[in-house]
C-alpha cells in the first residue's frame, strides 16, 4: 500500500504513520518527494484494512494499493525519475552518463592509460572488472584485490569514480572499500542472497539484466535491493539470449521505453556485451540514446587484440572518442546532453 501524506505534513505525522505500518506487520519506506512525502508499506497483504483506515488521519491524503508485483521500484510509488549522485556525477537526469573502460583490469599501465583516454573523450565513470565471471574456470578470473588497488590508482590519476563487479558476498566488504558503484553481473541477477546483501550497503548498484530474464523478473531483482533499504539502483540492459547467433546477445532496445514507463530507476545500456562485436557498438549506442537511455556502459581497450577478456567487443580509445563526438547531436535531438 502507498500512504500519500498531505503537503507540509510534519515529521511527527510521518512517524505516526510509520509506527502504524510497522505495528501492522509491514515495513515502511519513506520516499520524500518535491511536493509531498509518500510512505510505501511493503508486506504480505494481511490486515490491509488497518492500513486503509489511516485515511482518517489528519495529515494523510489517501491510502492506495500498489498493483504491480514490484513495489518500491515502480512508478506507482514514485512518479519522478530517481537521480543517483556518484561524486559530482548525476545519473538519471537530463545528462546521459557514459561509463567506459576495459572488461578486465590487467595492469597498472593498462588501466591508467585507458582511464585517461576515456576521460579525455568525455566518459564520467571508469569501469573495470577485478573479479570476473567467466564461463570457463580456465579463463582469466581477474586480478582480484590487486585489480581493486589499480582501479583506485586510476581514480586518483583521473578523478573518475569507479564501477566494478561483485560476484561473491565474501568479497562485498573489500570491494566496497574501493568502488563507487557496485556492479551485479548478468549471471547474478537472481542471486537473491547477494541482492539482499548489496541492499544493505550504502553504495549505488548497477544491476545487469540476466541473459534470459524478463523485464518483470529484472524489476523484481531490483526490488530485492530496494526492499533492504538501498534505493540507489540503476538497471543495465546488456543483451539477452535469442535464437540469433550473428551477435553475442540481442540488445533489447525496446526494454528501454518499457522500463522507463514502469520504473523511476535510471536505465543504462551496455552495447558491448549486447552485441559482442566492436563494429556494432557505435550504432547501438546511438540507438540506445535515441530510445531514452540514461547512460551507456562501453568497453574500451588500448590493445583489444591481446585483451584478457572481451577484446572482440572493445573499442580502441580513438574509436571511443569518435563515438562520443557522434553521440552529442543524437542526444541533442532527444533533448538530452552527453
Ligand atoms: C562485464 O560487465 O564485464 C560483464 C561480465 O557483464 P555481464 O554480466 O553483462 O555479462
Ligand atoms: Mn566484459
Q: Are residues 195 and 230 in the same domain?
A: yes
248 lines ligand 1 (CB under 6 A): no
Indicate the number of domains in the chain: 2
pLDDT score of 66 = 85
Q: Are residues 57 and 142 in the same domain?
A: no
Task: Classify 34 as helix, strand or coil.
Answer: coil
238 lines ligand 1 (CB under 6 A): yes
103 lines ligand 1 (CB under 6 A): yes
Q: Are residues 59 and 96 in the same domain?
A: no
Beta-bridged to residue 60, according to DSSP, are: 5
Burial class (CB in 10 A: 0-12, 13-18, 19+), 287: middle
Is 74 contained in some domain?
A: no
Residues 6+ apart with CB under 8 A from 5: 13, 14, 17, 36, 37, 38, 39, 59, 60, 61
208 lines ligand 1 (CB under 6 A): yes
Is 189 contained in some domain?
A: yes
Cα(61) to ligand 1 centroid in Å equals 44
Of the residues 163, 186, 234, which should be mutated to test ligand 1's pocket, given the most ligand atoms within 8 Å of the CB?
A: 186
Contact 293, 96 (CB under 8 A): yes
304 lines ligand 1 (CB under 6 A): no
Q: Are residues 137 and 286 in the same domain?
A: yes
How far apart CA 94 and CA 104 sit, in angstroms, is 30
> Phi and psi at residue 110, in whole multiples of 5°?
-60, -50
Residue nearest to atom 4 of ligand 1 (CA): 185
Nearest CA to 80 out of 17, 27, 29, 35 is that of 35
Helix 215-227 to helix 192-199 angle (10° resolution) is: 40
pLDDT score of 32 = 81
Identify the domain containing residue 21 by its residue range.
Answer: 2-64
Q: Which atom of ligand 1 is nearest to the CA of 133?
A: 5
The strand pair at 38-42 and 27-31 is best described as: antiparallel
How far apart CA 330 and CA 328 sit, in angstroms, is 5
Q: Are residues 104 and 225 in the same domain?
A: yes
185 lines ligand 1 (CB under 6 A): yes
Q: Are residues 283 and 183 in the same domain?
A: yes
pTM: 0.94
Task: Classify 85 as helix, strand or coil.
Answer: strand
pLDDT score of 67 = 81
Grid cell 586480478 is found at: 143
Residues of the chain under the 50 pLDDT cut:
none
Q: Which atom of ligand 1 is nearest to the CA of 270?
A: 9
Residues 6+ apart with CB under 8 A from 291: 253, 254, 256, 257, 269
Is 47 contained in some domain?
A: yes
Amino acid at each position: 500500500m502507498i500512504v500519500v501524506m498531505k503537503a507540509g505534513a510534519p515529521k511527527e505525522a510521518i512517524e505516526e504513520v510509520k509506527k502504524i505500518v510497522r505495528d501492522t506487520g509491514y515495513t515502511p519506506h519513506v520516499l520524500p518527494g518535491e511536493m509531498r512525502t509518500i510512505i510505501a508499506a511493503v508486506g504480505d497483504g494481511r490486515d490491509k484494512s488497518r492500513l486503509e483506515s489511516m485515511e482518517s488521519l489528519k495529515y494523510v491524503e489517501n491510502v492506495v494499493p500498489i498493483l504491480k508485483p514490484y513495489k518500491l521500484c515502480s512508478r506507482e510509488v514514485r512518479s519522478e525519475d530517481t537521480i543517483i549522485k556518484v561524486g559530482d556525477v548525476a545519473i538519471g537526469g537530463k545528462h546521459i552518463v557514459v561509463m567506459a573502460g576495459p572488461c578486465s583490469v590487467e595492469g597498472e599501465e593498462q588501466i591508467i592509460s585507458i582511464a585517461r583516454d576515456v576521460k579525455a573523450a568525455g566518459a564520467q565513470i571508469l569501469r573495470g572488472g577485478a573479479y570476473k565471471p567467466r564461463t570457463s574456470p580456465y579463463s582469466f578470473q581477474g586480478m582480484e584485490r590487486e585489480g581493486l588497488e589499480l582501479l583506485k590508482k586510476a581514480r586518483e590519476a583521473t578523478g573518475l569514480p569507479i564501477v566494478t563487479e561483485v560476484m561473491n558476498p565474501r568479497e562485498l566488504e573489500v570491494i566496497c572499500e574501493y568502488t563507487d558503484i557496485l556492479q551485479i553481473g548478468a549471471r547474478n541477477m537472481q542471486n537473491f542472497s547477494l541482492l539482499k546483501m548489496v541492499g544493505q550497503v550504502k553504495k549505488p548498484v548497477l544491476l545487469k539484466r540476466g541473459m534470459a530474464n524478463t523485464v518483470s523478473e529484472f524489476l523484481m531483482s531490483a526490488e530485492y535491493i530496494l526492499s533492504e533499504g538501498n534505493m540507489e539502483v540503476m538497471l543495465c540492459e546488456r543483451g539477452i539470449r535469442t535464437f540469433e547467433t550473428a551477435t553475442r546477445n540481442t540488445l533489447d532496445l525496446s526494454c528501454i521505453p518499457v522500463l522507463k514507463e514502469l520504473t523511476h530507476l535510471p536505465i543504462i545500456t551496455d552495447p558491448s556485451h549486447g552485441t559482442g562485436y566492436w563494429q556494432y557498438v557505435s550504432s547501438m549506442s546511438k540507438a540506445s540514446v535515441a530510445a531514452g537511455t540514461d547512460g551507456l556502459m562501453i568497453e574500451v581497450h588500448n590493445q583489444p587484440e591481446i585483451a584478457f577478456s572481451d577484446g572482440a567487443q572493445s573499442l580502441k580509445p580513438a574509436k571511443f572518442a569518435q563515438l562520443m563526438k557522434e553521440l552529442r547531436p543524437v542526444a541533442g535531438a532527444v533533448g538530452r546532453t552527453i
